Amino acid sequence: MRILVLGADGYLGWPTALHLSARDHDVVAVDNLVRRRWDRRCGTHSLVPIASMERRVERWSELSGRTMGWQKVDMCDADAVTALVRQTSPDAVVHFAEQRSAPYSMISRAHAVETQVNNVVGTLNLLFALRDHAPACHLVKLGTMGEYGTPNIDIEEGFIDITHNGRTDRLPFPKQPGSMYHLSKVHDSHNIAFTCRIWGLRATDLNQGVVYGANTTETALHRDLATRFDYDGIWGTVLNRFCVQAAIGQPLSVHGKGGQTRGFLDIRDTLACVELACLNPPAAGEFRVFNQFTEQFSILDLAHRVQAARQAHGLDTTVAHLPNPRTELEEHYYNARHQKLVDLGLEPHLLEQTLIDTVITRVERIRSRVRPGLFAPRVDWRAREQAFSEAGHLSAGRSARSLVGRHNGHRQAAARAAAR
């Protein structure tokens, strides 16, 4: 299949592009490289050093004998997105190309607006380009389990049968997202569902859990093929952060009581799920939702599992509770269905079996690169002034300017933005 991977410079996008290329799909990697700029603006970095996209693609070609396309495109540049889709005529588009940090989206008004406009407009541009130039193409869109929030009933995969006053309908599962970022994904889901219904597009919304892991079969082949690994308070996901904290002898920082339960999955399962979705497209006009995770844990449970895994290798670990910067329930019911990908053949990597090999060991080797100052949550869901922006890492004005550039549909503005 010819597959576009949008957001191919990201933590998951790059390994996905490699995975699909290794399985003989004709892959075009696409990104605007904004994630590297956000690192500079936020004072954050990838624990694992990453090569440039040019070097990555070249190294992959050299090692695998396969050719991967690479195009620098901003999804908010409508003309560029249209040209990309028209020129490549993809069978599937895997769309990771969004601002994906909840804390980033909560820094300020400008960051909330930047996140929602970037994500919603990028996806709208793609939907119109597909309608006009590749109407049979399958859109595989990364959503998040965070779209559902924590309802007091079982979470279904996208839709729920509701019987009410004697009548029944199958309706979209109600959404209660917990950040400006999660809201942007809810907006995307509604927009995509609508275009499937009116234009007959076909799409799979992958409501993904929290991903952990540092390596995949392909990224482990060479240091130039490594993917990024984030552990800071803005970009880091919880399990990766725990492993880094443990590696440098810091306590694992649990926010609040730690009763927050979420779905988790190994990075290798992300790749498998995306390929399973691609290989099994929905019918024209179908908007399909898969809950993409393999196990669910509470945060405190997760901390204890890291502790136990290290203990088995004679490594000590402590746990500390910090005030929770987010507004969320710390004790709640949580039971989310995740059957559809298993039905398609997913064989999960379970946390217990792989935690030490895939994360802790890897992190131990490069722990000298850890900057402990980055662990602390710097964004509070309730606060008007953020410690983050006070630190001068980022000004709202700068963010607003770059937003306008990236939001403009014209090449000229995109070129200006790229030149910054």
* Positions marked catalytic: 144, 181, 185
Q: Does 248 bind a second copy (CB under 8 A)?
A: no
Least distance in Å: CB of 233 to a second copy?
A: 18
**Of the two residues 37 and 410, which places its CB atom closer to a second copy in the complex?**
410
For residues 255-284, which are near a second copy according to CB under 8 A? Answer: none
Single out the residue of 173, 212, 293, 297 in contact with a second copy (rule: CB under 8 A).
Answer: 173
Q: Which of residues 177-206 bind a second copy (CB under 8 A)?
A: 177-180, 183, 186-187, 190-191, 193-194, 197-199
CA distance 120 to 141: 12
The smaller minimum CB distance to a second copy, of residues 140 and 193, is found at: 193
Strand partners, 307: none
Binding mask 281-320 for a second copy (x = CB under 8 A): ----------------------------------------
User: Is-contact 185 119, C-beta < 8 A?
Assistant: yes
- Provide the 8-state DSSP code for 73: -
Q: How many CB atoms lie within 10 A of CB 198?
A: 10
Q: Tell me, what amino acid is at 342?
A: V
8-state DSSP, 99: -
Binding to a second copy by CB under 8 A, coded x per residue (else -) over 343-382, reads --------------------------------------xx
User: CA–CA separation, 369 vs 2, rounded Å?
Assistant: 38
Q: Please, what is the minimum distance in Å from the beta carbon of residue 344 to a second copy?
A: 23
Interacting residue with a second copy among 312, 384, 392, 419 (CB under 8 A): 384
In angstroms, the CA 142 to CA 76 distance is: 17
HSE-CB of 390 using CA atoms within 13 angstroms: 8
DSSP per position, 186-239: HHHHHHHHHHHHHH--EEEEEEE-EEE-S--TTGGG-GGG------STTT--HH
> Binding to a second copy by residue 41, rule CB under 8 A?
no
Please name every residue paired with 141 in a beta bridge, in sequence order, or none if there are none. 95, 205
Question: In the complex, which residues of this chain contact a second copy (CB under 8 A)?
Answer: 78, 109-110, 112-113, 116-117, 120-121, 124-125, 128, 131-132, 151-154, 156, 160, 162-165, 167-169, 171-180, 183, 186-187, 190-191, 193-194, 197-199, 327, 333, 381-382, 384, 397, 400, 403-404, 407-410, 413
